[in-house]
């Protein structure tokens, strides 16, 4: 059997950032969850899939979706890809599916700005609540060799992380709990390069307010955008994230 990859933990800070992006928890809770991060493993010597373990307790209501930060990144040999699937037992019992059907982790994702953090979004399509405990297996990854065409001359290098793309508009979702006195704000170092707009998308997940930041390219160049979750009318900052926003000559936007 050819050995082609190595799983590793992302840094504590990266894990904190991605947990706070998806769940309203404090850093101390993220630290406790970070201790539960486990590297994917195969169940038997004949298993093709590496089981991914959820590092925290989760109750996922019927029809709801969630993005699960695994705390894991993967270093792979060139020419290989890691494909992510839900565990078959969850599929049979809860009709659990990945929102993009099959997750594709490219070898160069390891070098992305988010450290190549593998974040798995699942949806519970059953009519009952899915309960997972920290340490439960919920997804599996399989390494697959791939080929390219004879005339392929691609030389571009990945820089963006999860959700980054080259489009005229790029969106990022942020969440918080309804009724709290924290607000989302942003600082844009050069509004002439990229326009940033924040809109409240309402409550499309149980007990969560969803906000959406829209990045639109205005002219070629670079700007820095700082997203801040802070207490209203105070200097107290709960979390922040800084993006390098690059706009090319086609007004396409990439977040780094």
Mean pLDDT by 10 residues, the chain (256 residues): 93 84 66 91 95 94 90 94 90 79 89 87 89 94 95 68 60 71 87 87 61 87 88 80 85 82
Distance CA 105, CA 70 (A): 13
Domains, the chain, ranges and CATH?
A: 5-35+46-145 (2.70.40.10), 169-255 (2.60.40.2020)
d(CA 72, CA 54): 11
Distance (Å, rounded) from C-alpha 235 to C-alpha 233?
7
Q: Which of 18, 255, 253 is nearest to 160 (CA)?
A: 255
Is the pTM here over 0.85, yes or no?
Answer: no
Residue 133 exposed, middle or buried by CB count within 10 Å (0-12, 13-18, 19+): exposed
> Phi-psi region for residue 125, left (φ > 0), alpha (ψ -120 to 50) or beta?
alpha
Q: Alpha helices of the chain — where are they, by DSSP H?
A: 12-22, 27-34, 88-94
Query: What's the pLDDT at 68?
Result: 93
- Given 3-state DSSP classes, what are the helix, strand and coil percentages for the chain, each rounded to the nearest 5? 10, 45, 45
Q: Which two tokens stand for residue 212?
A: 């959406």
The pLDDT of residue 177 is 67
Quickly tell me which residue has 């590297």 as its tokens.
Answer: 39
């Amino acid at each position: 059997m050819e050995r082609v990859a190595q799983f590793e933990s992302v840094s504590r800070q990266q894990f904190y950032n991605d947990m706070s992006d998806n769940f309203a928890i404090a850093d101390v809770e993220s630290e406790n969850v970070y201790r539960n991060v486990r590297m994917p493993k195969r169940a038997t010597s004949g298993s093709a899939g590496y089981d991914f373990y959820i590092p925290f307790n989760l109750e996922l209501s019927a029809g709801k979706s969630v993005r699960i930060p695994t705390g894991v990144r993967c270093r792979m040999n060139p020419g290989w890809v890691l494909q992510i699937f839900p565990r078959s037992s969850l599929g049979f019992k809860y009709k659990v599916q990945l929102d993009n059907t099959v997750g594709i982790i490219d070898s160069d994702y390891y070098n992305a700005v988010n450290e190549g953090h593998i974040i798995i979004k699942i949806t519970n399509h059953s009519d009952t609540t899915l309960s997972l405990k920290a340490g439960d297996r919920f997804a599996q990854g399989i390494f697959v060799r791939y080929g390219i065409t004879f005339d392929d001359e691609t030389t571009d290098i990945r820089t963006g992380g999860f959700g980054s793309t080259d489009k005229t508009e790029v969106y990022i979702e942020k969440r918080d709990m309804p009724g709290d006195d924290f607000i989302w704000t942003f600082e844009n170092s050069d509004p002439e390069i990229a326009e940033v707009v924040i809109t409240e998308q309402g409550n499309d997940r149980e007990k969560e307010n969803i906000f959406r930041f829209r990045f639109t390219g205005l002219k070629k160049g670079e700007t820095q955008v700082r997203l801040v979750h802070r207490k209203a009318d105070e200097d107290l900052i709960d979390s922040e994230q800084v993006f390098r926003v690059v706009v090319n000559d086609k007004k396409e936007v990439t977040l780094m």
